Amino acid sequence: MLKKVWLIPLFSMIFSFLAFFCGYVIAVMEGHVNAIWPYISDTALTAYLRHRQIVEFYWHRHHVEGKWRFFSLIFLFIGYASSLGVSMVANFQQHSTTMYFHYSGALLAFGGGLIYAWGQTIFSYIMSPKLVWKFVSHFRFVLTTIATMTFFTMIIFGCILGRSKEKHKEHEHYKLLRWKTDMPNYKEHTIGTCSEWIMAICFEIYILSFVVELRDSSLHAPKLNINSDLDENNDDIKSYSSKGTETSDLTLPSPITFITISYDDVH
């Protein structure tokens, strides 16, 4: 049993920041990129825990009816898609042969992340009783708004206006472009890269905010009990009877049970 579930989004944020900035420091030290705002590309368990928490709180504890379970499941898979996009961005670099996968992953990561963030933010406002205090919902709304604005500035200034007109420099087995302050569209490019960093930081802080809701939660791993009866006349198994707690039907027992949730003080 894991008692401190809130550590999962916390570690997710910490390791993501370490991945961002370790890659940044190495790239700068090796001279691959400039020190001022290169693109980042030069999270899935948290989404699952969030979904199971919503099911436990609103269905198993308060028996709230409605279509919220369907939308929570949709947001879960959007969170999975966003996590897959992050992995694609990391594993398919900006090379001519993998560029399509790289940008597809970026669209999944950032676009899917925005949809997920807006969905969870709206969810926290309209559902009753509340899982969290209102100021946390307001804080998430601000983060999501900033992430949305920077998403469009990244597209406009980074991908459209900030594209270099100069030819790429061949560097070993890949193409590398070193941006300089006197290059055309340098300012637009910098706005695009800054937007990407700000958006990524907003996403990580958003994930960190789930610590507030998971602070008093614990979880159990899925359990499977198998009962068998032996026929008295032979050694063959006569019948099997099994029951498991993991199921895709949200009306049945949850595979993850949050047993110590206390939200009496939430208004």
Q: Is residue 171's pLDDT more than 50?
A: no
Cis amide leading into 129 (omega within 30): yes
pTM to 2 decimals?
0.64
Separation between Cα atoms, residue 94 and residue 201, nearest integer Å:
22
Of the ranges 20-34, 104-118, 161-175, which is most confident? 104-118
pLDDT digits (tens, 9 = 90+) for 26-56: 556 655 555 555 554 444 456 777 777 787 7
**Whole-number pLDDT of residue 229:** 55
Beta bridge pairs of residue 221:
none
Residue 143 confidence class, pLDDT cut points 50, 70, 90: very high
User: Residue ranges per domain, the chain?
Assistant: 6-165+178-215
pLDDT digits (tens, 9 = 90+) for 198-211: 998 899 899 888 88
Query: DSSP string covering 50-116, please?
Result: HHHHHHIIIIIIT---STHHHHHHHHHHHHHHHHHHHHHHHHS-S-TTTHHHHHHHHIIIIIHHHHH
Helical (H) or strand (E) element with 175: strand 174-176
Residue 24 confidence class, pLDDT cut points 50, 70, 90: low
Identity of the amino acid at 42: D
The fraction of the chain above a pLDDT of 70, given in percent, is: 59
Mean pLDDT across the chain = 72
In the chain, the largest separation of any two C-alpha atoms, in whole Å, equals 90
Q: Is residue 112's pLDDT more than 50?
A: yes
Of the ranges 27-31, 147-151, 231-235, 239-243, which is most confident? 147-151
Our separate counts of H helices and E strands in the chain read 8, 4
Summarize the confidence of residues 102-112 as an average pLDDT: 89
Contacts of 151 (CB under 8 A, 6+ apart): 110, 111, 114, 195, 199
Query: Could you tell me which residue, 12 or 254, shows the higher pLDDT?
Result: 12
